[in-house]
Structure 1
Amino acid sequence: MTAVTTTAPAGATTVNPKTRPRFSPRRRAGKWLLSLLGLVVAAVWAFPVYWMILSAFTPNARLRSTTPQFLPTHSTLANFQTLLSGGSGFWTALRMSLSITLLTVVLVLVFAFLGALAISRFRFPGRKSFVLAVLFIQMLPAEGLFIAQYKMLASVGLLNNVIGISVLYTAAVVPFTIWMLRGFVAGVPAELEEAAMVDGLSRTRAFLRITLPLLAPGLVASGVYAFLQAWNEFTIALVALPSQSAQTLPLWLRGFMSASASRGIDWAQVMAASTLIALPVIVFFLFVQGRMTSGLVSGAVKG
C-alpha cells in the first residue's frame, strides 16, 4: 500500500493555520463599531444618573444658570444638610418606607413561595383555575382598583397605616413573583427530597435541609424585585396614605417639590432628595448582587 502525496502547484504559497489572521479587517472594523456603539449607549444610560448626583452637589443658583456645568466645579453639601435636618421630614418618610418595604418583602416571599410550591409540586382540584387567576390578576390595571382599595382600607381603619399599604403592595407583587419562583421550584428535582426521606429525614426536615438551600438564589432574586417595587411605588401610596404625617419617600419628594413651587422649585435639593432615595437601593443591590445574578441565570434555564 503506497501513500499518496500531493504537491502544491508552482508559485502557490502555503499559509500556516497557526499564523492565519483570526479576523479579517472588515470583521475587526465591525467589532470596533459595535464596541463604540455599546459605549455610546452606556454613556446615554448613565448620564441622567451622573447629572442627578452632580446637581445634588451644586448650588441652586448655579444650577439654574443658562450655561450648564458638566464638571463638579462648585460643589457643596448644603443641599444634603438642609434635607437631613429635622424639619424636612426626610427621616419620618425614610422610616415609613423602610417599614413598608421590609414587611412587603417578607409577605411577598412567604405567599409567593407557597404559591409557586403548590403549582410546581402538587396536583390538586382547581390547580388550572388558580394558575389562570394568577395570570388574570397580573393583567388588571392598578388604577382600576384604587376606589375599591381605598374603601376597603377605610372600612377597617387601615388608611395611613403600614399594615394596610403593605397588604396592597403584597397583593400587587405576589402574582408576578409566583411565576418567578415557579421556575426555581420546578428546577429542583423532587427526588432529592425523596432520597433524604429514605435516609430517615421527615418531609419537613428534608425540605428545609435539601430543597430550601437550593432555592436561595431564587428567593433573593424575588426579594430584590419585591423590594424595588415596594420602595419605588407611588400611585398606590398616593391613595392609601393621604395624611401628610404618613408618607413614603416618593410621596415626600412630590410634596417637597410642591412646597417649593411658590418660590420656584429648588432643583438642587430635588436632585439631592432623589439621590438620597436611590442610595438605599444601591446599597441593598451591592449586598445581594451575587445571589441575584446567579438566581436570574438559574431561573432562565430551569423550569
Structure 2
Amino acid sequence: MTAPAVRIRPSSVGARRIRPGRVLLNLAALVVIVCAVFPVYWMVNTSLLPSSATKTATPHLWPDQFTLRNYATAFADGGFVAALGVSVSVTLLALVVSLVFAFLAAVAVSRFRFRSRKTFIVAILVVQMIPAEALIISTFRVLDSWALVNTIIGLTFVYVALVLPFTIWTLRGFVNGVPAELEEAAMIDGCSRTGAFWRVTFPLLAPGLVSTGVFAFIQAWNEFVFALVIMTRPESQTLPIWLRSFVQVTKATDWSVVMAASSLMAIPVIIFFLLVQHRMASGLMSGAVKG
C-alpha cells in the first residue's frame, strides 16, 4: 500500500498577488501627499536660510546655512503679538457664533418640515455663489454707520456672515446621516425628545461639528480682503494684514523673512488642529451605544 499524496498548499501570504491597480493608486496617493507637503516644507526651509541663499540660482533643498535671524526680524517688527491677539479673538468668536447658529439651522432643516424649507436651502447655495468682493463697499458702509470699523465685533459680524452658509450646508449633511429612528428608540426607552437628541444624536454629530469647525477656523483665519478694508489701523490689523507689511513696493522683498512670518502664522492653526483632531476619531465611536 502506498501512502496517499499530500498536497502542499502555498501560504496565503505567498499566494497573494500584487494588483497593478492598487500599486498605481498607492503611487498616485504618494504623489498627492508630496505635492501637498512640499510647499509647507519649502516655506519652513526658506525661513531657515539667509536672504543671500534664497537669491541664488542654485536651490537649497535643505537648510544647509541654518539661521534663526529671519524669525528674530519678524518678531522685531513688533506687530506680531498684537495681530495674533486680534486674529485669535475674531476667529474664535466667529467660529463659536457660526457653529451655534449653523447647528440649530441644520437641525431645523433636516429634522422638521416647514413652509419655505426648500427655499431656505436654495438661498444658502445662492449666497455661497455671490462673490464676497462684491459686498465690500456695502459692508463697509453698514459697519461705518454702526461705528464698528476697526473693531473686533465688526469684523466678527463679517466673518460670521462669510462662514455661516458653508457651515450650515456642511452640518446639514451630517445631520441627515444620523437616522431619526435612533431618537425614536431613545424616546421609547423613556427619554424626552430633548434628552434623546442630546444623549444619542449629538454625540454622533460631534465629528461633524469638529471637522466643520476646522474648515471654518481656517477660512476665517486666512481671510484677507475684508480685514484689509475694515481694519485700517495698524494696532487693529490681523495676521494676514501684518504679513503683507513685509512685502513693500519701495524695496526688494526679503522672502526669507516673509516665509518666517508665514511659518509663525501657521503655528496657531496647527495647534488648533492638534487639540481637536482626536475628537474627530473618538466621536465616531460614541453615540448610539446604550450602557
TM-score, normalised relative to structure 2: 0.85
1:156 lines up with 2:150 in the alignment: no
**Other-structure match for 1:176:** 166
Query: How far has the Cα of 1:17 moved from its partner?
Result: 7.6
Matches within 5 A, 1:1-303: 21-23=15-17, 28=20, 35-85=26-76, 87-258=77-248, 261-292=249-280
Paired with 1:130 and 1:33, the residues of 2 have a C-alpha distance of 43
Indicate conservation of the 8 Å contact 1:108/1:174, yes or no: yes
The letter of the residue matching 2:182 is L
Paired with 1:32 and 1:199, the residues of 2 have a C-alpha distance of 50
The letter of the residue matching 2:17 is F
When Rg is computed on C-alpha atoms for both structures, the one with the higher figure is 1
- What SS is found at the alignment partner of 1:257? coil
TM-align CA RMSD: 2.7
- What SS is found at the alignment partner of 2:66? coil
**Other-structure match for 1:301:** none
The letter of the residue matching 1:186 is N
TM-score, normalised relative to structure 1: 0.82
Runs of 5+ consecutive residues of structure 1 not aligned to the other structure: 1-13, 297-303
- What SS is found at the alignment partner of 2:39? helix
Indicate conservation of the 8 Å contact 1:221/1:295, yes or no: no
Paired with 2:222 and 2:211, the residues of 1 have a C-alpha distance of 17
Query: How far has the Cα of 1:136 moved from its partner?
Result: 1.2
Indicate conservation of the 8 Å contact 1:82/1:88, yes or no: no
CA offsets, 1:237-287, max 9 Å, x none? 1222122221111111112222xx434211111000011111111222223
Query: How far has the Cα of 1:178 moved from its partner?
Result: 1.1
Indicate conservation of the 8 Å contact 1:221/1:291, yes or no: no
Indicate conservation of the 8 Å contact 1:220/1:295, yes or no: no
Paired with 1:189 and 1:123, the residues of 2 have a C-alpha distance of 16
For residues 36 and 215 of structure 1, do their structure 2 counterparts lie closer, same or farther at Cα, with a shift above 3 Å needed?
closer
CA offsets, 1:145-185, max 9 Å, x none? 11111111111011111111111111111112112111221
Paired with 1:293 and 1:206, the residues of 2 have a C-alpha distance of 22
Q: Single out whichever of 185-194 and 74-83 deviates more from structure 2.
A: 185-194
Paired with 1:267 and 1:16, the residues of 2 have a C-alpha distance of 63
Paired with 1:192 and 1:33, the residues of 2 have a C-alpha distance of 41
The letter of the residue matching 2:203 is P
Paired with 2:120 and 2:46, the residues of 1 have a C-alpha distance of 49
The letter of the residue matching 2:270 is I
Indicate conservation of the 8 Å contact 2:204/2:283, yes or no: no
Runs of 5+ consecutive residues of structure 2 not aligned to the other structure: 1-6, 285-291
